[in-house]
Amino acid sequence: MIHNFNYRRATSVEETLGLLEKCKEDYKIICGGQSLLILMRQGLVAPENLIDIKSVKEMSYIDYDPKNGLKIGAATIHREIEKSPLIKKYYPVLVEMEKNLASVQTRNWGTIGGNLAHGDPAGDPGPILIASNATVKMASLERERILPLEDFFIDIFETALEEGELLTEIQLPILPKKTAVAYEKFSIIKNQQGIVSVAVSITIDEDAVKCKDARIVLGAAAAIPLRAKEAEQMLIGKKIDTKLLASVGKKASEESDPVSDIHATETYRRFLVKTLTTKVAKKAWELAKAAN
């Protein structure tokens, strides 16, 4: 049973920030409730004040411009991202990811901001967004700040959001020329969170011979979505072939720091990191060769 709490509904960012200040001793923000309500029902979280931002329309948008890239309001639901022609055109991997995130019902309620703010290392959007060099915008009554998403995740279910702060926007830069991002999760039940997931971004040189830049981000393989930086370095400046990809997968597995739980052992997760990294990096390489 859910405990008693004060319910407060905001309709603007300004009103939300005022409520966060007023309730600062004990509050939780709720948007789609797809993650928070589970914790509240289990009694793991019991805030005195629940601040509902679902009606803050100014936080629900998808904007793209060819200079600055993509901006997604934090209260945008997964389903809108999945259905966006703009995102499909410029960041297709996000659309594919959304199609495999939970059920349509959950995607119709759950938001991109709620997903990131929940701080679950098994969340699907985090690895792709970090591989795409995303930043996040946060606002409080005192200030607005922008942080690389990579630095937003602090520990399991812990983010850089401070008391009184609201996550307002997710920003993706224009991908460099000859760049592609690929993603895959391994899950036992379709459209459930991955046992392990991997996102890889690869930029190749003009002649499509060597890898110019690479980002490898592991999901559910550490307390946070984790960049496998040594594995990335193995790709940069090199001509990619099957042997190199296998070594990169092995290195990513060594860099991962997974736990054993009811879903999988640490050993199995490391094995998955190795095979998925090899596979996803190959896919990103092939897509980059075909990219503009």
Contacts with ligand FAD, residue ranges (CB under 6 A): 28-36, 53, 74, 78, 101-102, 106, 109-111, 113-115, 117-118, 123-124, 161, 166-167, 191-193
Q: How far is the CB of 6 from ligand FAD (least distance, A)?
A: 15
Q: How far is the CB of 107 from ligand FAD (least distance, A)?
A: 7
Contact 193, 101 (CB under 8 A): no
Task: Give the burial class of 28: count Cβ atoms within 10 A of its Cβ; 0-12 exposed, 13-18 middle, 19 or more buried.
Answer: middle
Give whole-number Cα distances, 70 to 73, 87, 175, in Å. Answer: 10, 8, 10
Structural element, H or E, at residue 40: helix 36-41
Dist CA 153 CA 92 (whole Å): 24
Dist CA 181 CA 184 (whole Å): 11
Which is closer to ligand FAD, CB of 191 or CB of 247?
191
Which is closer to ligand FAD, CB of 158 or CB of 241?
158
Q: How far is the CB of 19 from ligand FAD (least distance, A)?
A: 12
Which is closer to ligand FAD, CB of 244 or CB of 259?
259
Dist CA 183 CA 200 (whole Å): 6
SS3 (DSSP) at 4: coil
Residue of closest CB approach to ligand FAD = 114
Which is closer to ligand FAD, CB of 106 or CB of 233?
106
Q: How far is the CB of 88 from ligand FAD (least distance, A)?
A: 19
Which is closer to ligand FAD, CB of 193 or CB of 256?
193
Residue 188's φ and ψ, nearest 5 degrees, are: -75, -40
Q: How far is the CB of 37 from ligand FAD (least distance, A)?
A: 6
